[in-house]
Amino acid sequence: MIAKLIPLNGGQPILIDKDVTVVGRKSDLCDVQIDKNSISKIHCVIIKTDGLLFVRDLCSTNGTRVNGQKITRGALLPGDELSIASTRFEVELTGKHKKQQEPVEESHRHTEMLTAFNLEVESLDEKPESDGDSELKLASE
């Protein structure tokens, strides 16, 4: 997969060619340097794994946003807008993933629900018996 950040101000695209790319203002600490005071020395990290792209804010002063939403961490999809402080990029992903899956026919799609807890629940088909007292009482009374 080839990942690029396309600056929305018309600058040069930034190629994300490592599995872990540190973005920030300080050149000796970062793989990608953006020389703006609004960007922290080490601002965020972009991670490529299994054909997916993720971003994680590194406690930056002015934050990281995906499609306008401030994030701590999140996935990046093609066409997403990534804002590093006030600098905005469009995410571009091209190429095939290492483990490209074949499309699944609509008739074969299904969702599986996994049971995390096996709890027994009594059926509420019948109404509970009333003791004739319809007044609710608080446990503290």
pLDDT tens sequence across 26-72: 989 999 999 999 999 999 999 999 889 999 999 999 999 999 999 99
Range of the domain at 60: 1-92
**CATH (domain of 62):** 2.60.200.20
Residue 102 has pLDDT above 50, yes or no: no
130 is a domain residue: no
pLDDT at 28: 92
Q: 27-49 burial by CB neighbour count: b if 16+ within 10 A, else e?
A: eeebbbbbeeeebbebbbbbbbe
- pTM for the model: 0.66
117 is a domain residue: no
